[in-house]
Structure 1
Amino acid sequence: MLHAGLCATGLLGVAANVGAQDVLIRNATVHTAGPQGTLQGTDVLVQGGTIRAVGAGLAAPAGVTTVDAAGKPLTPALFGGITGIGLEEVSGEAPTVDNAVSLEDQPMRPEFDVTLAYNPASMLVPVARVEGLGFTLLAADTGKAFVAGQGGVVRLDGSADPIGPRALFVRLGAGASDLSGKSRAAQWMLLDQMVAEARGRVPADSPHALLTPAGRAVLARYLGGQGRIVVKVDRAADIRQLLRWAARERVRIAIAGGAEAWQLAPQLAQAQVPVFLDALGNLPGNFDQIGATLRNAALLQAAGVEVAFTQAGDASHNARKVRQLAGNAVANGLPWEAGLAGLTRVPAQALGVGDRLGTIAVGRSADLVLWSGDPLDVIHTAQQVWLGGRAMPMRSRQTELRDRYLRGTGEGGLPPAYSHGP
């Protein structure tokens, strides 16, 4: 049930008017996820889709809708993790899955870009959005090559195009050994050959070339520092080799997974490598995760590593659970502010969109969430999401099905699915 103050000042009306751009959110506990930290009893003024002012007792310009937050938490819209939202609708139905390429001839295709298949009308977008998620990193998944291809950041506001630089996705370790001659050692041999091709040290017409001309050009951009290479890797020994390779080739990397990353926390901090991890990973799902621990995030953060969160497994359909990851990391020693940063500022900055997303500050896009309580506690919910200043409809196919079968409010006046009365 929404607080009476919210209803009285027109929050429901704002949600209904999706095109509204100007709003003054009063008396919120503003978690900026930036240098200002948490601000009590603070107002946020949004005009033209942008945050124009943050402070106490702001005057409401003419025509601006006012929302009384009644002291509740206001945060930046959250990062949904590394997902295939809009790229996979039904994971078991191949024609609805577009995040991997499986080519027999020259399977290494860094030029493959999954963002070209992104569907902003996917049912998964509102499912994630009503949980307070405002952006996600679309990932290329491995098909027949451990160099999977490119992805990018999309906002969950219905926009069709990604924002910021692309990221290149690579999988290393046991999970990719079948794609590299049954040995993780061969992954480095093949990576070195691809680098040599991209740097022009291998003739373009070589019969043993791994990359197409387009693939060489794309990989060369990443070798030149344009965009991050996001590497799915867990074992500490593999992470050590990755850090050496990245330093030698002077590339910008991020780690996804990192079950044993805490064992190399000082080295990761020194190399300024962010880690996107699943904070619930505490049991070894395979031999690359023997050192998994619930204190992974806390140990990394204490060493100075920037920690963000992403869901393992079915990340697209369960993106909403990313809050649970951050909450569990906090329960195991990560400072609360760092937990929020791992869902906001850290991923935005790591992915090159920190000038627009991830913090509440003047000039940033007004991607905001008003919560019923602590956003890292899953007992609380998002009361209203604004993306670019637009109040998003707080409904999804899931909520509509719930209403249809529990209250009988669906089309045709269907009866309730369950009856507890006589």
Structure 2
Amino acid sequence: MIRARLLRRKLLLAAVLGVAASPAAAQDVLIRQATVHTAGSRGTLQDTDVLVQGGIIRAIGQGLAAPAGATVVEAAGKPLTPALFGGISEIGVEEVSGEESTVDSAVSLEHDQPIRPEFDVTLAFNPDSVVIPVARVEGIGFTLVAATTGASFIAGQGGVMRLDGSADPLGPHALFVRLGTDATKFSGTSRAAQWMLLDQLVAEARGRVPADSPHALLTPTGRAVLARYLGGQGRIVVLVNRAADIRRLLRWAAREKVRIAIAGAAEGWRVGPELASAKVPVFVDAFADLPADFDQIGATLENAARLRQAGVEVSFMLGGDSTPNARKLRQGAGIAVANGLPWEDALAGLTRVPAQVLGVADRIGTLEVGKTADMTLWSGDPLDVINTAQQLWLGGRAIPMRSRQTELRDRYLRAAGPLPRAYAP
């Protein structure tokens, strides 16, 4: 009990001392002579200027004039990219994974119709989370906040959150489903039962099972929500790794005419042509190089490269505790490049591809005239971890490049004063 109270006090202190997520007001900005990686149709532009006014990119070209009062940033050839994707995460709905009171990402109604597709984790999103600045100092501007598995293999809904202090999701929601070994405890210990339950859920959502049936798995609200996804309104993101399960999922999605994306896909390269033919995008865990379980026997660091060569749109995710480690996503993209993925495709997987897959590409994901000015200036190649994000802009607003970690670093690097460093301001 005493240790639990001390931990809670530390967490509360971290929240009090953490940097506020709300950035300063937008301003006109001219970035001069950058290497502009647009991640769009114009590719990479050398010695190019980017003009931002009212939070929107107004011009991209050479020799642009700075409007009166605009902030001028001399990039001196350094890379400028769209703000990066933070992966499929619990950023903003989880502070510390080991402290239950700070985790809001899963619903566990084990004895009261546990399958709840209506669960919407974005309602718990905290734009003042101390985890958000930790991601932003790494050049990350948006993430897919996910519902995680609680008492059902249908986890619930999530959505794209910009890390600019906004409390509401950008674009359509996504529904999260887990299949395979990790989900068998929610389906009578058999992966075969997952397909049996999915068929019943579809039958209920499409009205083929009476709403008052004593064997119904869904609430009336859950039926309505699942019916929307079955009607193509929103993407179903399925965490699955085994090639055989992916093949079966593709057949199910084609039969039910639903829009899916796959997360994980450790053995995705084995079914690359089928994924490409079905136009199903994949969020790859680029660190998966060894079998973590029997669903990942075919894991390889060449997964992303082989999928892209087959014609699959590839983005990235992290396995394990992704919330505090979103910064590792660009390292994963770099690993994919080292194992055969073209550099431009890796950058697209951190910017344009997730924005397109998640239905927000009209706003973010590329550097184009008319798009929201979410962008990052780097010290060098952003896919090389030796380099750092020098400045992040979200909606044209310069984000303070500090977090609780940087403030603690600075505090304890200072020379000792009359009081211990822990008491210093």
TM-score range, shorter chain: over 0.9
Partner Cα distance (1:229, 1:292) in 2: 23
Structure 2 contact 26–395 (Cα < 8 Å) conserved: no
Partner Cα distance (1:406, 1:320) in 2: 23
Q: Which residue is equivalent to 1:114? A: 121
Q: Which residue is equivalent to 1:44? A: 50
Structure 1 contact 85–124 (Cα < 8 Å) conserved: yes
Aligned ranges 1:403-422 → 2 under 5 Å: 403-408=410-415, 414=420
Q: Which residue is equivalent to 1:324? A: 331
Partner Cα distance (1:43, 1:71) in 2: 10
Letter in structure 2 aligned against 1:163: L
Q: Which residue is equivalent to 2:14? A: none
Cα offset for 1:416?
10
Letter in structure 1 aligned against 2:306: L
Cα offset for 1:18?
2.2
Partner Cα distance (2:341, 2:98) in 1: 36
Cα offset for 1:372?
0.1
Q: Which residue is equivalent to 2:102? A: 96
Partner Cα distance (1:311, 1:373) in 2: 23
- Greater Cα offset, 19-28 or 131-140: 19-28
Letter in structure 1 aligned against 2:304: A
2:322 aligned with 1:315:
yes
Q: Which residue is equivalent to 1:371? A: 378
Cα offset for 1:19?
1.6
Selected match of 1:180 from 165, 171, 187: 187
Structure 1 contact 408–414 (Cα < 8 Å) conserved: no
Aligned ranges 1:11-30 → 2 under 5 Å: 18-30=24-36
Selected match of 2:59 from 53, 57, 63: 53
Selected match of 1:349 from 353, 356, 380: 356
Aligned ranges 1:8-407 → 2 under 5 Å: 18-103=24-109, 104-407=111-414
Partner Cα distance (1:162, 1:115) in 2: 7
- SS at 1:376's partner residue? coil
Structure 1 contact 408–416 (Cα < 8 Å) conserved: no
Letter in structure 1 aligned against 2:414: R
- SS at 2:155's partner residue? strand
Q: Percent of aligned pairs with the same residue?
A: 76
- SS at 2:301's partner residue? coil
Structure 1 contact 407–416 (Cα < 8 Å) conserved: no
- SS at 1:287's partner residue? coil
Partner Cα distance (1:166, 1:112) in 2: 11
Unaligned runs of 5+ residues in structure 2 are 1-22
Instruction: Give TM-score scaled by structure 1 length.
Output: 0.93
Cα offset for 1:280?
1.1
- SS at 1:115's partner residue? helix
Partner Cα distance (2:254, 2:339) in 1: 32
- Give the CA RMSD over aligned residues: 1.5
Partner Cα distance (1:216, 1:340) in 2: 38
Letter in structure 2 aligned against 1:349: Q
Cα offset for 1:406?
1.2
- SS at 1:175's partner residue? helix
Return structure 1 stretches of 4+ with deviation > 4 angstroms. 412-417
> How many residues align structurally?
401
- Greater Cα offset, 133-142 or 19-28: 19-28
Alpha carbons of structure 1 residues 361 and 413: separation in structure 2 relative to 1, 3 Å: farther
Cα offset for 1:304?
0.7
Cα offset for 1:71?
0.4
Cα offset for 1:413?
6.9
Structure 1 contact 384–391 (Cα < 8 Å) conserved: yes
Structure 1 contact 404–414 (Cα < 8 Å) conserved: no
Partner Cα distance (1:416, 1:215) in 2: 49
Q: Which residue is equivalent to 1:9? A: none
Cα offset for 1:307?
0.4
Q: Which residue is equivalent to 2:17? A: none
Unaligned runs of 5+ residues in structure 1 are 1-16, 418-422
Letter in structure 2 aligned against 1:36: R
Partner Cα distance (2:390, 2:420) in 1: 27
Letter in structure 2 aligned against 1:101: V
- Could you give the per-residue CA deviations for residues 89-131 of structure 1, whole angstroms, max 9, x where no partner exists? 1111111100000002110000000000000100100000000
Cα offset for 1:20?
3.7
Cα offset for 1:407?
2.2
Cα offset for 1:415?
5.2
